[in-house]
C-alpha cells in the first residue's frame, strides 16, 4: 500500500501540472474549437520569465525561512503567470486574430500556431540558451517530507505543486461559472453568433480567454521548472501530454481537463509500475507513453468525446 | 575569353593521363586566392570539417564540439608553424541520421577539406561512414562511442573516445566485487542502450543479480524510476545515459531516499552533471577511459583558453573534439612534410597517429578504434561537488 | 476600444489606427532586432543576448525599419493608384530578385572565395589583375549596387510618369546591366577554373530582365491599371506553345554559346572547346559530329520547326516538331554519355565514370530540346481546346489551369527542371533533393489524400513511414531477426510488401478510430505515431534492434536479364528512381481526385452527415483515404531505408509528423501541386538558410515564414481550386459572426 501510495503521489504531482497546462488547451478550444499548438511555448516562457524574476531575489544554496519561501513561490507564480499571459495575448494577436479576420480554414490556425511554436522556442533558445537543463536556484530543501499519507511521504515541493494547482483550478472554475467574464466566455463557447448579438465583444472575450489560459500555463511552467528543469524545448512533451489529457477529459470542458490531467499523470505512474513491488512492474517504465496513449485511445473508442464530453458552456 | 581556356584544355588533352597527377587538389585557382581567405599566412588553405548537430534538440552537444574544433584551429593558426592556413567548415546534420548524408555531401564537395571531425552521434556515423570512406576522407570521431561502429568496415574511420564495450565490462567487474544486486537503468538511446547492455552482460556473467529498466531519453520526470530503484532493494544502481539527464536522475534518487551506490559511464562524467545534480551527485561513481583532466597540465590550459574564447567553460566532448582536430591538423602537416597533401595521404597519416591529447594518449588500432586494453579505464567519484580520480578501476577497491 | 455589437472584422484597427499600428510596428522592430541579434547569453548571464540585441545603437536601425513599415502602411493607400499601374508588379519582383541575388545567393562555388556571395566575390574580383578590365570594373564595390539602383529608379520613374522614352531607356539600361553582370561572372568562372554551380549571376540577369519587362510593359500598355492575368491570357491565347519555344530559345542559346559542357581538371570547356578537345580522340563518330555541327543544326532545326508549327497552329507540323525534339534529346544524351565516358577513361582528374565532369551546357540543351518537343505536343493537342479561349477570359475565377496550354506548359517546365536541373546542381544539393526534398514531397502527396481530400487530421503520419522502413529492413535481413532465406528480398521488391503492410496498419488503426471526429482523431493518430516509435525504441522480441537501429540495408539494384543497375551512392540515380515513383503516384492520385471516390472524400470533408445521408459509406471511404495515404508513406519509407542504408527510431519522431502536416497546409491542402510545392519549399528552405543565418537559428526563421504565410495567404502557396471558392465565399458573406469564430470547416463539423 505504501508503495502504491508513493507512485500515486508522484502521479498526482505530474498530473496537476498536466491539468494546469491542459486548461489552456481546453479554454481556447472551448471558444475557438481550435487546438492551440503554441500553448506549450506559453508554458515554456512562463518558466523562463519566472526564473528571470526570482533569480533577482534568491541565489543558489540559500536557506530561507518558510515565509520567505512562500513569498518567493508566490512571486514566481505571479511572474510566470504574467509572462505566460502576455505571451498568450501576443500569440492570439499575431497568430490567430489575423487568420480569423480572413476566415482562414481551420487547419491554417493549427499551422500558424505550429509556426509560432517553432519561432518562440527557438527565439528563447537564441536569447537565453539551448541547454536542455536549466535549474532554478535551490533556496529550500524541496525534497524534505512534510506529511505522510498511508505511509507515503509527500515532499514539500509535491505538496506545493498539488495544492497550488488545485487552488488555481478551483478559482478558474469559480471564475468561469460565477463572473461576468466567465459568462461571456461560456456564451462565446456555446454559440458565438448569438453571444455577439447579446452584446458580448467576441474579440475581447477570445483575447481574455487566451490570457487566462496563458496565466495558468505560465504558472505551470514555474512549477514544472522548480520541480524538474526548464529549457527552451521543455514545452513540447508536456504540451502533447496535456493536450492528450484535455482530450481525455473532453476537450473544451474545464472540469474534464482537470480530471483528464490528474488521471493521465496517475495512469502514467501507476500502470507501468504495477504491482508496485519493486520488480520493475509487469509492463515496465519504458512503456509509460505507450500506456498513456493506449488508455487515451481506449477511452475515446468507448467515449468518443472524452470522459466528461465536450463543451465549455455546458459543463460549468 | 575562350581562347585562353581552349589552350589550357588542348594542352591538357595532350598530356592525357598525366593530368591526374598534374593538378590534383591544387586549390590556388587563378588570381583570386588569398584575397578573400582570412589571414592568408601560409598560402594554401586546408579545411577541417565538423559534422554534428548545430540545430535542433541536440544542438548544445554540437556547439560544445564545434567550439573545441574552432579553438584547435585558431590556436594552430596563431602558432604559425602549420605551413598552411587552417579553416573550419561547419556541416550541420541536426544529429539526425537522415540529414547526415546531405551534410557529408556538403563536406565532400569542398576540395580543400582534408579531414572530418564528427559526426557527433553514432546514428549519423552509421549513415555516412561509407560515404566518407568511399571518398577517402579521414574521419576522427570525438563522441560517438557506440561499441559496434568499429566493426562496420568504414575505411577511413577513427575515434578518440573509448567505446562503450571497452568501458562497460571493466566497471562491471569492479561492481561485481562490491555489490550483490544491481539495478541497471537504461536511458533509451544508442549510447545508453549500448553501455547498459555491456554492463548487464558482464554482471550476469559474474553471477550478480541484475534488474533492468528503461526510461525515455527525453523525459524530465525521474520520480517513478527512482521509486522503483529504491523499492527493488538493489545495493547499487548503474545508469547508462548522459550527464544532463543523469543530474535529474541523481536528484530524484536522493529525493526518494535511495541509499545504494550509484554508478555511471563516461557519458555522465562532466561539469554539466556536477553543476546540475549539486549535492545529490556526491558519491556517484563514473568510469571513464580518459585521463584525469584535473591533473594533466595541458587540460588546464585548454579549459582556460576555451573559457576565454567562448565565455563558458568547456563541456561534454569539447576536449575530445579539440584533440580530434589537432590529430587531423598534425596529419595534414605530416602529409605536407612528406610532399603530398591529399585526402588519401592525410588519412594515412591519421592512421599513424601517436598523439598525446588532453583526454588520452591516442593511437588508433587497425579498425580505427582505440585498441582495447591500451587505455586504462579509470574510476572517478564526485566529492563535495568535484570529480576526483580513484585510479585504475581494475585496482580500485 | 469600446465594445460594439455590430462590427466588421478589422474595424478595431480602423477605430484607432495610428496608435495600434505604431505599437505593432515598434514591436516588430524589437522582435527583428532580437532575431538578428547575437547568439544566446551564457549560463551565468541570461540577459546578455537580450541586452546586446536591444540596448545599443543597433536598435536605432531596427526602429527605423519599424517606422518605415508604419509609414508604408499609413501612407500606402495614397500611392494606391500607382500600385496598379502596368509594370509595377514585374518591377517589384525584379527588384527583389536582384537584391536577393546580390545579397543572399552564391556567385561561385570555388572555396577560394570564402562564402562565395556577391560582396566577397566582387571585393576579390575588383582587385584581381588577371580579370578583363570590363569585368573588373563591374565588380568594383559600390558600382553594381549603383547600377541596380539607377536602373530601378529609371524604371520606377518611367512607370510613375508614364514617359515612353524613359521606359525604353530603362529597358536598354536594365538589359545592359544584366548582361554585363552575367558576362563578368562568366569571366570570373573561367578564371577560377572550377566547375560552377552557382545561381547568383543567372538570377541577377533574370531580375534585370524583369525590370526591363516592367519598363516595356509601361511603354506598351495603354491601360491605366495592370491586368497581368489578361496579359498572360493573351500571350497563351495568341499561340499556345510559343512561350515554351521562347524559353527553349533562351536555354538553347545559353547552352550552345556560353555554357560549360565538359569540365575536366579544373577547366571549363564550352561546346566549341569540347569539340576541339575531343577532335583527335577515339570518340564515337556520332558524338563527334554532334559536338562539331550536328548539335547546332538540330537545335536550329527543331527550334524553327516548333516555332513555325506554333505560329501556324498546324498539328501535323507540331507532331513533327515533337518527334524531332525528342530525337535531338536522345542524340544529345548519347553525345554527353560518350564524352563523359571517354573522359573518364582518359583519366581526367576527378572523373569516376560516365556522366561525371559534365558542365551545365549539355543539360541546358537537353532541357531546351525537351521543351521544344513539349511545345510541339502542346500545339498539336491545343487545337481541340481552341473553342475554350473566349470563355475563360471572362471567367473571373479562372485559375491558371484554365488558360489553354498554360497548365501543360507549366507541367512541362517543372518536368524539364526535375529531369535536368539536378545534374547541374552541386553534390550537396543533389543529396538534399534525394534525401529530404524528394522524400518529403512523396510523403506530402500521401498525406494530402488524408488531410487535404478526406479532411482527416492525421498527426501520426510518420508511423507508416517507419513501418515501411522497418519492413524493408526486415526483408533485406538488416534486423536481428532474420527472415527465412527464401523470403529475403532486394529493397525494390519490398515496395509491394510495404504497401500491403501499411495498408493493413492503416486499416487496423482506422477501423476503431475513424468514427472519432476532427481533433479527437488528431490526438489518436498522434498517439499511434508515438506508440510505433516507442515500440521501435523498446525493441520487443529483439525485432527492431532498439535505438541502435538497423544498419546495412543494401542499396537497391535491378538485375533483369541484360539490365544491371545498382544505385550505390549516386544521388542522381536515386533522384531518377524517386521521380519514377513520384510520377506514378501522381498519375494515380490525379485520377483518384476526379473519381467517384475523390468526390466522396470531398463530400465527407465538407459535411459528413450530409454525405452519409446521400449514401456515401463514410467509414469505408475514410478507411480508403487512410490506407492509401499510409501506403504512399510506406513506399517513401522503403525508398528512405534503402537509400540511406541505416535507420533508427530517431528518424520517426513526432516532430516529423507535424512537419508533414505543415508542408501540406503551407502548400495548400487539397491541392496536389500545392502539397508538393509546400513540401519542396519548406525542405529546401532550411538548407538555403544554412548560408544566410546561424545554423541554430534556422528553425526560428522557418517558424516565422510559416506564420507569415498563414497570416497573409491562409489557403497556401497553390490553393486548391475548390477551397479558393470556399474562401471567396467567406469573404462575400463576411458577417462578423462567421469571421469571429471559424466554422467547423468540415473538419468533422465540430459546430
ipTM of the complex: 0.93
Q: CB distance A288–B224 less than 8 Å?
A: yes
Segment C657-674 mean pLDDT: 92
- The three grid cell numbers given for residue C670, joined into one nine-digit string: 487539397
Chain B within 8 Å of C433 (Cβ-Cβ)?
no
Q: Evaluate whether C548 touches C661 at the Cβ level (below 8 Å).
A: no
Q: Evaluate whether B77 touches B86 at the Cβ level (below 8 Å).
A: yes
pLDDT of residue C724: 53
Shortest distance between the Cα of C524 and any Cα of chain A, in A, equals: 6
Give the model's confidence band at C243: pLDDT under 50 very low, under 70 low, under 90 confident, else very high. confident
Chain B within 8 Å of C641 (Cβ-Cβ)?
no
Our count of domains for chain C comes to 4
- Name the DSSP letter for residue A134: B
Nearest to B141 by CA among B163, B154, B164, B157: B157
pLDDT at C400 over 70: no
Residues 40-59 on C with a CB inside 8 Å of A are: 40-43, 46-47, 49-50, 53
User: Within this chain, do residues C531 and C598 fall inside the same structural domain, yes or no?
Assistant: yes
Dist CA C307 CA C313 (whole Å): 10
User: Within this chain, do residues C74 and C89 fall inside the same structural domain, yes or no?
Assistant: no
Dist CA A186 CA A315 (whole Å): 10
pLDDT at A8 over 60: yes
pLDDT in tens, B15-47: 333 333 333 333 333 344 433 333 334 468 899
User: Within this chain, do residues C140 and C53 fall inside the same structural domain, yes or no?
Assistant: no
pLDDT at C739 over 70: no
- Residue in the block written with cell 504558472: A219
User: Within this chain, do residues C388 and C246 fall inside the same structural domain, yes or no?
Assistant: yes
Q: CB distance A110–C665 less than 8 Å?
A: yes
pLDDT in tens, A208-223: 999 999 999 999 999 9
Shortest distance between the Cα of A154 and any Cα of chain C, in A, equals: 31
- The three grid cell numbers given for residue B89, joined into one nine-digit string: 567548415
Determine, yes or no, domain membership for C625: yes
Give the model's confidence band at C387: pLDDT under 50 very low, under 70 low, under 90 confident, else very high. very low
Mean of per-residue pLDDT scores for chain C = 82
- Residue in the block written with cell 513599415: C69
Last residue of a domain, one of C424, C452, C473: C424
Which residue of A33, A296, A299, A306 to mutate against C (max C Cβ within 10 Å)?
A33
pLDDT in tens, C683-699: 999 999 988 888 888 88
Segment C472-481 mean pLDDT: 91
pLDDT of residue A40: 94
Determine, yes or no, domain membership for C683: no
Nearest to B140 by CA among B165, B115, B121: B115
pLDDT in tens, C448-470: 999 999 989 999 999 999 999 99
Q: Which residue of A has its CA nearest to C743?
A: A106
Choose between C77 and C666: higher pLDDT: C666
pLDDT of residue C43: 61
Q: Which residue of C has its CA nearest to A97?
A: C740
Determine, yes or no, domain membership for C699: no
User: Within this chain, do residues C187 and C305 fall inside the same structural domain, yes or no?
Assistant: no
Nearest to A56 by CA among C722, B378, C47, B26: C47
Determine, yes or no, domain membership for C705: no
User: Within this chain, do residues C411 and C503 fall inside the same structural domain, yes or no?
Assistant: no
pLDDT in tens, B99-122: 999 999 999 888 889 999 989 888
Give the model's confidence band at C42: pLDDT under 50 very low, under 70 low, under 90 confident, else very high. low
State the pTM of this model: 0.89
Q: CB distance C737–A193 less than 8 Å?
A: yes
Chain B within 8 Å of C134 (Cβ-Cβ)?
no
pLDDT in tens, B167-199: 788 889 899 998 999 999 988 888 888 888 889
Shortest distance between the Cα of C742 and any Cα of chain B, in A, equals: 33
Shortest distance between the Cα of C125 and any Cα of chain B, in A, equals: 7
User: Within this chain, do residues C370 and C299 fall inside the same structural domain, yes or no?
Assistant: yes
Interface partners of chain B (CB pairs < 8 Å, 3 or more) are: A, C
Q: CB distance C707–A117 less than 8 Å?
A: no
Determine, yes or no, domain membership for C681: no
Of C520, C526, C711, the CB nearest to A99: C711
User: Within this chain, do residues C474 and C615 fall inside the same structural domain, yes or no?
Assistant: yes
Dist CA C557 CA C578 (whole Å): 14
Segment B284-300 mean pLDDT: 74
pLDDT in tens, A138-154: 888 888 888 888 888 88
Structural domain that includes position C400: 240-424
Residues in chain C: 751
pLDDT of residue C701: 93
pLDDT in tens, C520-565: 889 999 999 999 999 999 888 888 888 888 988 888 888 887 888 8
pLDDT at B390 over 70: yes
pLDDT of residue C729: 44
Q: Which residue of A has its CA nearest to B228?
A: A278
Segment C382-390 mean pLDDT: 51
Chain B within 8 Å of A228 (Cβ-Cβ)?
yes
Q: CB distance B193–C276 less than 8 Å?
A: no
Dist CA B295 CA A308 (whole Å): 63
Of B218, B251, B256, the CB nearest to A237: B218
Dist CA A81 CA A165 (whole Å): 13
Q: How far is CA C603 from CA C614, C617, C719, in A?
A: 9, 11, 18
Segment C6-18 mean pLDDT: 55
CB atoms within 10 A of CB B237: 26
pLDDT of residue C1: 37
For chain A, the maximum distance between any two Cα atoms, rounded to a whole number of angstroms, is 62
- How far from the centroid of its chain's Cα atoms is residue B142's Cα? 2
Q: How far is CA A48 from CA C55, C439, C699, in A?
A: 20, 37, 20
Interface partners of chain A (CB pairs < 8 Å, 3 or more) are: B, C
User: Within this chain, do residues C89 and C206 fall inside the same structural domain, yes or no?
Assistant: yes
Dist CA B257 CA B174 (whole Å): 24
Of A188, A290, A306, the CB nearest to C531: A290
pLDDT at C646 over 60: yes
Of A31, A114, A131, the CB nearest to C658: A114
Chain B within 8 Å of C223 (Cβ-Cβ)?
no
Determine, yes or no, domain membership for C721: no
User: Within this chain, do residues C452 and C600 fall inside the same structural domain, yes or no?
Assistant: yes
Chain A within 8 Å of B187 (Cβ-Cβ)?
no
pLDDT of residue C44: 64
Which among A163-177, B372-386, C350-364 has the top mean pLDDT? Answer: A163-177
pLDDT of residue B30: 39
SS3 B86: strand
Of C654, C700, C740, the CB nearest to A126: C700
Last residue of a domain, one of C424, C457, C485: C424
- Name the DSSP letter for residue B370: P
Chain B within 8 Å of C272 (Cβ-Cβ)?
yes
Q: How far is CA B263 from CA A280, B225, B249, B369, C612, in A?
A: 19, 16, 12, 25, 62
pLDDT of residue B294: 57
Q: How far is CA A7 from CA A312, B212, C18, in A?
A: 31, 19, 57
Nearest to B76 by CA among B280, B332, B265: B332
Q: CB distance B13–C430 less than 8 Å?
A: no
Rg of chain B in Å (alpha carbons) = 23
Percent of residues, chain A, with pLDDT higher than 90? 51
pLDDT of residue B188: 85
Q: For residue A212, give every residue at least 6 positions away whose Cβ sits within 8 Å of its Cβ, in sequence order, or none.
A: A27, A85, A172, A175
Which residue of C741, C748, C749 to mutate against A (max A Cβ within 10 Å)?
C741
Count Cβ–Cβ pairs < 8 Å, chain A vs chain B. Answer: 87
Which residue of C428, C478, C540 to mutate against B (max B Cβ within 10 Å)?
C428
Chain B within 8 Å of A283 (Cβ-Cβ)?
no
Give the model's confidence band at A316: pLDDT under 50 very low, under 70 low, under 90 confident, else very high. very low
Q: CB distance A273–B188 less than 8 Å?
A: no
Shortest distance between the Cα of A148 and any Cα of chain C, in A, equals: 35
Q: Evaluate whether B377 touches B390 at the Cβ level (below 8 Å).
A: no
Beta strands in chain A (DSSP E): 145-149, 152-155
Q: Evaluate whether C382 touches C240 at the Cβ level (below 8 Å).
A: yes
Dist CA C473 CA C485 (whole Å): 14
Strand duo B45-52 + B113-117: pairing: parallel
User: Within this chain, do residues C624 and C584 fall inside the same structural domain, yes or no?
Assistant: yes
Residues 454-513 on C with a CB inside 8 Å of A are: 457, 512-513
Query: Which residues does chain C have within 8 Å of residue A292's beta carbon, measured at their own beta carbons?
Result: 527
pLDDT of residue C537: 92
pLDDT at C676 over 90: yes
Query: Which residues does chain C have within 8 Å of residue B99's beta carbon, measured at their own beta carbons?
Result: 435-436
Which residue of A280, A282, A283, A284 to mutate against B (max B Cβ within 10 Å)?
A280
User: Containing H/E element for B264?
Assistant: strand B261-264
Segment A126-130 mean pLDDT: 85
**ω into B62 cis (within 30 of 0):** no
Of A122, A199, A293, the CB nearest to C703: A122
**ω into A21 cis (within 30 of 0):** no
Which residue of C707, C746, C750 to mutate against A (max A Cβ within 10 Å)?
C707
Chain A within 8 Å of B213 (Cβ-Cβ)?
yes
Determine, yes or no, domain membership for C669: no
Determine, yes or no, domain membership for C678: no
Which among B329-333, C185-189, C565-569 has the top mean pLDDT? Answer: B329-333
Q: CB distance B248–A234 less than 8 Å?
A: no
pLDDT in tens, C89-144: 888 899 999 999 988 888 887 766 667 788 888 888 877 777 788 888 888 888 88
Of C124, C428, C687, the CB nearest to B32: C124
Which residue of B255, B267, B385 to mutate against A (max A Cβ within 10 Å)?
B255
pLDDT of residue C41: 60
User: Within this chain, do residues C489 and C562 fall inside the same structural domain, yes or no?
Assistant: yes
Segment C353-382 mean pLDDT: 86
Dist CA C636 CA C642 (whole Å): 10
Residues 6-25 on A with a CB inside 8 Å of B are: 6-7, 10, 13-14
pLDDT in tens, B45-88: 899 999 999 887 778 788 889 999 999 999 999 988 888 889 89
Last residue of a domain, one of C365, C394, C424: C424
Which residue segments constitute the domains of chain B, with CATH numbers given? 45-162+296-363 (3.40.50.2300), 165-288+376-392 (3.40.50.2300)
Q: How far is CA C735 from CA A30, A74, A164, C738, in A?
A: 21, 44, 43, 6
Amino acid at each position: 500500500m505504501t508503495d502504491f501510495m508513493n507512485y500515486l503521489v508522484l502521479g498526482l504531482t505530474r498530473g496537476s501540472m498536466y491539468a494546469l497546462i491542459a486548461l489552456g488547451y481546453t479554454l481556447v478550444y472551448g471558444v475557438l474549437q481550435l487546438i492551440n499548438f503554441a500553448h506549450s511555448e506559453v508554458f515554456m516562457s512562463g518558466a523562463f520569465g519566472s526564473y528571470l524574476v526570482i533569480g533577482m531575489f534568491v541565489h543558489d544554496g540559500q536557506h530561507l525561512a518558510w515565509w520567505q519561501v512562500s513569498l518567493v513561490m508566490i512571486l514566481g507564480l505571479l511572474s510566470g503567470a504574467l509572462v505566460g499571459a502576455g505571451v498568450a495575448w501576443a500569440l492570439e494577436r499575431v497568430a490567430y486574430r489575423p487568420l480569423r479576420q480572413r476566415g482562414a480554414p481551420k487547419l491554417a490556425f493549427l499551422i500558424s500556431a505550429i509556426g509560432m511554436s517553432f519561432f518562440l522556442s527557438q527565439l528563447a533558445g537564441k536569447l537565453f540558451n539551448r541547454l536542455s537543463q536549466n535549474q532554478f536556484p535551490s533556496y529550500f530543501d524541496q525534497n524534505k517530507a512534510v506529511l505522510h499519507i498511508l505511509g507515503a511521504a509527500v515532499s514539500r515541493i509535491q505538496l506545493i505543486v498539488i495544492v497550488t494547482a488545485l487552488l488555481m483550478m478551483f478559482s478558474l472554475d469559480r471564475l468561469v461559472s460565477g463572473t461576468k467574464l466567465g459568462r461571456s466566455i461560456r456564451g462565446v463557447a456555446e454559440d458565438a453568433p448569438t453571444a455577439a448579438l447579446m452584446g458580448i465583444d467576441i474579440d475581447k472575450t477570445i483575447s481574455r480567454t487566451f490570457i487566462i489560459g496563458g496565466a495558468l500555463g505560465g504558472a505551470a511552467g514555474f512549477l514544472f521548472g522548480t520541480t524538474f528543469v526548464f529549457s527552451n524545448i521543455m514545452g513540447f512533451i508536456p504540451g502533447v501530454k496535456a493536450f492528450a489529457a484535455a482530450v481525455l477529459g473532453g476537450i473544451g470542458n474545464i472540469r474534464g481537463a482537470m480530471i483528464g490531467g490528474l488521471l493521465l499523470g496517475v495512469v502514467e505512474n501507476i500502470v507501468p509500475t504495477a504491482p508496485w513491488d519493486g520488480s520493475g512492474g509487469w509492463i515496465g517504465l519504458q512503456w509509460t507513453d505507450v500506456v498513456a496513449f493506449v488508455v487515451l485511445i481506449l477511452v475515446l473508442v468507448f467515449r468518443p468525446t472524452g470522459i466528461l464530453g465536450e463543451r465549455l458552456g455546458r459543463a460549468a | 575569353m575562350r581562347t585562353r581556356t581552349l589552350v589550357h584544355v588542348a594542352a591538357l588533352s595532350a598530356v592525357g593521363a598525366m593530368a591526374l597527377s598534374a593538378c590534383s587538389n591544387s586549390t590556388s585557382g587563378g588570381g583570386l586566392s588569398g584575397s578573400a581567405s582570412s589571414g592568408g599566412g601560409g598560402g594554401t588553405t586546408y579545411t577541417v570539417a565538423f559534422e554534428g548537430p548545430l540545430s535542433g534538440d541536440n544542438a548544445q552537444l554540437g556547439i560544445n564540439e564545434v567550439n573545441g574544433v574552432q579553438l584547435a584551429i585558431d590556436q594552430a593558426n596563431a602558432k604559425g608553424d602549420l605551413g598552411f592556413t587552417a579553416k573550419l567548415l561547419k556541416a550541420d546534420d541536426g544529429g539526425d541520421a537522415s540529414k547526415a548524408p546531405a551534410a557529408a555531401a556538403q563536406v565532400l564537395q569542398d576540395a580543400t577539406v582534408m579531414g572530418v571531425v564528427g559526426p557527433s552521434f553514432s546514428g549519423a556515423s552509421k549513415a555516412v561512414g561509407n560515404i566518407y570512406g568511399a571518398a577517402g576522407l579521414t574521419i576522427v570521431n570525438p563522441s560517438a562511442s557506440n561499441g559496434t561502429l568499429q566493426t562496420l568496415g568504414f575505411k577511413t574511420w577513427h575515434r578518440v573516445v573509448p567505446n562503450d564495450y571497452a568501458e562497460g565490462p571493466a566497471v562491471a567487474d569492479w561492481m561485481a566485487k562490491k555489490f550483490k544486486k544491481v539495478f541497471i537503468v537504461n536511458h533509451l538511446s544508442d549510447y545508453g542502450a549500448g553501455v547498459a547492455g555491456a554492463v548487464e552482460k558482464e554482471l550476469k556473467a559474474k553471477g550478480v543479480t541484475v534488474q533492468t529498466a528503461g526510461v525515455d531519453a527525453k523525459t524530465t520526470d525521474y520520480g517513478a524510476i527512482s521509486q522503483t530503484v529504491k523499492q527493488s532493494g538493489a545495493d547499487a544502481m548503474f545508469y547508462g545515459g548522459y550527464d544532463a539527464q543523469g543530474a535529474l536522475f541523481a536528484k530524484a534518487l536522493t529525493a526518494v531516499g535511495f541509499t545504494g551506490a550509484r554508478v555511471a559511464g563516461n557519458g555522465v562524467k562532466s561539469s554539466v552533471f556536477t553543476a546540475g545534480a549539486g549535492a545529490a551527485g556526491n558519491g556517484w561513481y563514473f568510469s571513464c577511459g580518459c585521463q584525469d583532466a584535473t591533473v594533466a597540465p595541458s587540460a588546464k590550459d585548454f579549459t582556460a583558453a576555451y573559457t576565454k574564447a567562448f565565455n563558458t567553460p568547456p563541456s561534454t566532448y569539447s576536449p575530445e573534439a579539440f584533440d580530434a582536430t589537432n590529430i587531423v591538423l598534425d596529419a595534414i602537416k605530416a602529409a605536407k612534410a612528406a610532399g603530398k597533401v591529399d585526402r588519401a595521404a592525410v588519412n594515412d597519416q591519421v592512421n599513424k597517429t601517436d598523439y598525446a591529447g588532453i583526454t588520452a594518449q591516442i593511437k588508433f588500432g587497425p579498425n580505427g578504434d582505440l585498441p582495447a586494453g591500451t587505455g586504462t579505464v579509470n574510476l572517478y567519484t564526485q566529492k563535495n561537488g568535484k570529480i576526483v580520480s580513484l585510479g585504475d578501476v581494475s585496482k580500485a577497491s | 476600444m469600446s465594445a460594439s455589437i455590430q462590427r466588421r472584422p478589422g474595424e478595431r484597427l480602423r477605430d484607432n489606427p495610428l496608435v495600434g499600428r505604431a505599437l505593432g510596428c515598434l514591436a516588430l522592430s524589437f522582435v527583428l532586432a532580437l532575431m538578428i541579434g547575437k547568439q544566446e547569453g551564457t549560463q551565468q548571464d541570461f540577459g546578455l543576448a537580450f541586452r546586446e540585441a536591444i540596448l545599443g545603437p543597433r536598435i536605432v536601425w531596427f526602429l527605423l525599419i519599424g517606422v518605415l513599415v508604419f509609414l508604408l502602411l499609413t501612407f500606402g493607400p495614397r500611392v494606391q493608384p500607382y500600385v496598379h499601374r502596368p509594370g509595377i508588379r514585374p518591377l517589384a519582383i525584379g527588384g527583389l530578385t536582384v537584391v536577393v541575388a546580390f545579397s543572399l545567393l552564391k556567385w561561385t562555388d570555388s572555396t577560394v572565395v570564402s562564402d562565395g556571395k556577391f560582396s566577397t566575390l566582387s571585393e576579390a574580383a575588383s582587385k584581381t589583375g588577371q580579370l578583363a578590365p570590363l569585368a573588373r570594373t563591374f565588380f568594383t564595390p559600390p558600382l553594381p549596387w549603383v547600377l541596380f539602383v539607377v536602373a530601378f529608379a529609371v524604371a520606377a520613374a518611367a512607370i510613375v510618369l508614364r514617359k515612353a522614352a524613359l521606359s525604353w531607356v530603362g529597358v536598354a539600361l536594365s538589359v545592359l546591366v544584366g548582361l554585363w553582370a552575367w558576362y563578368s561572372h562568366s569571366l570570373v568562372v573561367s578564371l577560377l577554373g572550377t566547375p560552377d554551380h552557382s545561381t547568383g549571376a543567372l538570377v541577377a540577369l533574370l531580375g534585370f530582365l524583369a525590370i526591363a519587362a516592367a519598363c516595356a510593359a509601361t511603354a506598351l500598355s495603354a491601360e491605366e491599371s495592370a491586368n497581368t492575368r489578361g496579359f498572360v491570357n493573351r500571350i497563351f491565347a495568341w499561340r499556345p506553345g510559343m512561350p515554351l519555344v521562347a524559353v527553349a530559345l533562351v536555354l538553347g542559346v545559353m547552352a550552345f554559346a556560353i555554357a560549360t559542357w565538359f569540365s575536366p581538371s579544373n577547366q571549363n570547356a564550352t561546346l566549341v572547346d569540347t569539340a576541339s578537345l575531343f577532335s583527335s580522340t577515339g570518340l564515337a563518330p556520332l558524338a563527334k559530329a554532334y559536338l562539331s555541327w550536328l548539335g547546332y543544326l538540330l537545335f536550329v532545326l527543331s527550334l524553327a520547326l516548333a516555332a513555325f508549327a506554333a505560329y501556324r497552329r498546324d498539328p501535323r507540323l507540331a507532331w513533327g516538331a515533337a518527334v524531332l525534339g525528342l530525337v535531338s534529346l536522345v542524340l544529345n544524351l548519347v553525345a554527353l554519355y560518350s564524352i563523359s565516358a571517354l573522359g573518364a577513361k582518359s583519366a581526367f582528374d576527378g572523373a569516376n565514370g560516365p556522366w561525371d565532369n559534365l558542365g551545365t551546357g549539355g543539360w541546358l540543351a537537353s532541357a531546351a530540346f525537351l521543351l521544344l518537343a513539349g511545345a510541339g505536343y502542346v500545339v498539336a493537342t491545343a487545337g481541340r481546346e481552341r473553342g475554350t479561349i473566349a470563355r475563360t477570359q471572362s471567367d473571373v475565377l479562372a485559375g491558371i489551369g484554365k488558360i489553354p496550354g498554360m497548365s501543360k506548359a507549366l507541367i512541362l517546365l517543372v518536368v524539364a527542371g526535375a529531369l535536368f536541373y539536378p545534374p547541374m546542381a552541386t553534390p550537396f544539393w543533389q543529396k538534399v533533393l534525394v534525401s529530404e526534398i524528394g522524400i518529403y514531397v512523396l510523403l506530402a502527396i500521401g498525406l494530402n489524400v488524408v488531410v487535404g481530400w478526406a479532411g482527416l487530421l492525421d498527426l501520426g503520419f510518420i508511423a507508416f513511414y517507419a513501418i515501411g522502413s522497418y519492413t524493408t529492413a526486415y526483408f533485406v535481413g538488416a534486423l536481428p531477426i532474420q527472415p527465412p532465406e527464401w523470403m529475403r528480398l532486394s529493397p525494390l521488391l519490398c515496395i509491394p510488401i510495404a504497401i500491403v503492410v501499411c495498408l493493413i496498419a492503416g486499416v487496423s488503426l482506422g477501423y476503431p478510430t475513424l468514427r472519432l471526429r476532427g481533433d479527437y482523431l488528431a490526438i489518436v493518430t498522434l498517439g499511434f505515431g508515438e506508440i510505433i516509435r516507442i515500440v521501435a525504441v523498446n525493441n520487443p522480441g529483439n525485432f527492431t534492434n532498439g535505438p541502435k537501429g538497423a544498419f546495412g540495408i543494401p542499396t537497391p539494384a535491378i538485375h533483369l536479364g541484360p539490365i544491371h543497375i545498382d544505385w550505390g551512392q549516386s544521388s542522381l540515380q536515386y533522384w531518377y528512381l524517386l521521380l519514377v515513383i513520384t510520377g506514378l503516384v501522381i498519375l494515380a492520385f490525379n485520377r483518384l481526385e476526379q473519381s467517384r471516390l475523390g468526390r466522396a472524400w470531398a463530400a465527407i470533408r465538407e459535411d459528413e452527415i450530409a454525405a452519409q445521408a446521400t449514401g456515401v459509406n463514410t467509414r469505408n471511404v475514410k478507411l480508403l483515404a487512410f490506407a492509401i495515404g499510409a501506403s504512399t508513406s510506406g513506399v517513401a519509407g522503403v525508398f528512405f531505408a534503402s537509400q540511406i542504408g541505416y535507420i533508427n527510431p530517431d528518424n520517426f519522431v513526432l516532430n516529423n509528423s507535424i512537419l508533414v502536416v505543415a508542408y501540406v497546409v503551407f502548400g495548400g491542402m487539397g491541392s496536389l501541386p500545392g502539397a508538393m510545392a509546400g513540401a519542396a519549399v519548406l525542405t529546401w528552405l532550411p538548407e538555403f538558410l544554412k548560408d544566410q543565418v546561424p545554423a541554430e537559428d534556422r528553425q526560428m526563421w522557418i517558424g516565422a515564414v510559416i506564420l507569415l504565410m498563414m497570416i497573409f495567404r491562409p489557403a497556401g502557396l497553390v490553393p486548391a481550386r475548390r477551397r479558393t471558392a470556399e474562401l471567396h465565399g467567406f469573404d462575400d458573406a463576411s458577417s462578423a459572426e462567421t469571421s469571429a469564430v471559424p466554422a467547423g470547416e468540415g473538419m468533422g463539423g465540430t459546430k
